[in-house]
Amino acid sequence: MATDDDRSTLDGAALARAVALLRAGELVAFPTETVYGLGADAADPLAVRRVFAAKGRPADHPLIVHVAGVGAAERFAVLDGRARALAAAFWPGPLTLVLPRRPAALDEVTGGRDTVGVRVPRHPVALALLRAFGGGVAAPSANRFGRVSPTRAEHVREEFGEEVFVLDGGPCAVGVESTIVDLSRPDRVGLLRPGGVPVEAIEALVGPVEPGGVAAPGTLPAHYAPRTALRLSRDPEAEAARLRQRGLRVAVLRAGEPEDHARRLYAELRRLDALGVDVLVAEVAPDSGLGAAINDRLRRAARGANGG
């Protein structure tokens, strides 16, 4: 999907450099429509280990393999009829499928599981990178472990400085991570993480989606966290007034139209976090569609933040 920012179009020299780095076993931060990823050649175990080291991420949290299309996904995973239907409807797009793995899915990527998560992102720069590279790119979000996900190139630079080359694709159009669906069992569809594709749209194609599924160790209760304490409220102005009466300095994050709210959520959390107030109060979003993903991230952010 095009964004209103011309950095979503291609810079040929930067793209060539990113491909060369991936081939050399180095890391590349790249834009997707959800958040920026910290990518490595999914076929290179040492490169994949560098991702965990750079993030400070526990080795048993599996990475998503990003590919240019269904054909490339099939090199890493076994797709059944449900997977094909979802891929046809939502790829390229913010949907990750957890599927039985093939041998090309390395233990370093899957955390030694018999499943692998695969996705075709929709951002034109991500797709161009994946096509030019030709292989799979294993990538988590390009932030230090547990912190707020990056939705702009400058957020990645704030996290990693000169340590990592950043392919700049402008601000992310969706702004929250992919929906993760577990299709590893033939008899059930499990929701591992709400995200950019509404669960309701998935259910319309493959029937009821149950919460949970195979263990997804990356989905921690405390995650996506600002440093400032964060509270959720359905009436944020009243909550802010109460806290101010107690002498606390408060900043408020209002909800609003879900697509727009999702797009600016992480940038707003970063901006408000930098104000140096005592408490952030975030308005709870309506709990359907993209709102479910927004509330999921806010709840985890509240648990991970200081005092929250």
User: Where do contacts with Mg ion occur on this chain (CB under 5 A)?
Assistant: 141
Which SS3 state, helix, strand or coil, does residue 149 take? Answer: coil
Q: What's the burial of 153, exposed, middle or buried (CB within 10 Å: 0-12/13-18/19+)?
A: buried
- The entry of Mg ion, ligand AMP, none near residue 110 (CB within 5 to 8 angstroms by kind) is ligand AMP
Between 17 and 188, CB nearer to ligand AMP: 188
List interacting residues with ligand AMP (CB under 6 A): 61-62, 64, 98, 110, 113, 115-117, 140-141, 177, 180, 192, 214, 216, 218-219
Instruction: Give the residue with the Cβ less far from Mg ion, 263 or 300.
Output: 300
Q: Give the shortest CB-77-to-ligand AMP separation in angstroms.
A: 9
Nearer to ligand AMP, 198 or 236 (CB): 198
**For Mg ion, which residue has the nearest CB?**
141
CB of 172 to ligand AMP, least distance (A): 13
Q: 79 touches which of ligand AMP, Mg ion, none (CB within 5 to 8 A by kind)?
A: none
Residue 302's binding partner out of ligand AMP, Mg ion, none, with CB under 5 to 8 Å set by partner kind: none
- Number of Cβ within a 10 Å radius of residue 136: 29
Tell me the residue ranges of DSSP E strands in 93-234: 95-100, 115-119, 137-139, 165-166, 179-182, 190-193, 210-211, 229-233
Alpha helices, H only, the chain: 12-23, 45-55, 70-76, 81-90, 107-110, 124-133, 153-160, 199-206, 236-245, 258-273, 290-304
Nearer of residues 150 and 213 to Mg ion, judged by Cβ? 150
- Helix axes of 12-23 and 124-133: crossing angle, nearest 10 degrees: 50
199 vs 148: CA distance, rounded Å:
23
DSSP 8-state secondary structure symbol assigned to residue 178: P
| Nearer Cβ to ligand AMP (192/305) | 192
Cα 274 to chain centroid distance, Å, stands at 22
Q: Which does 300 bind (CB under 5 to 8 A by kind): Mg ion, ligand AMP, none?
A: none
CB of 227 to ligand AMP, least distance (A): 19
Supply the minimum distance, in Å, between the C-beta of residue 216 and Mg ion: 12
Cβ proximity to Mg ion: between 96 and 115 the closer is 96
Q: How many CB atoms lie within 10 A of CB 165?
A: 18
Which residue of the chain is nearest ligand AMP when measured via CB?
218
- Closest distance between ligand AMP and the C-beta of residue 149, in Å? 8
Contact call for residues 191 and 181 (beta carbons, < 8 A): yes
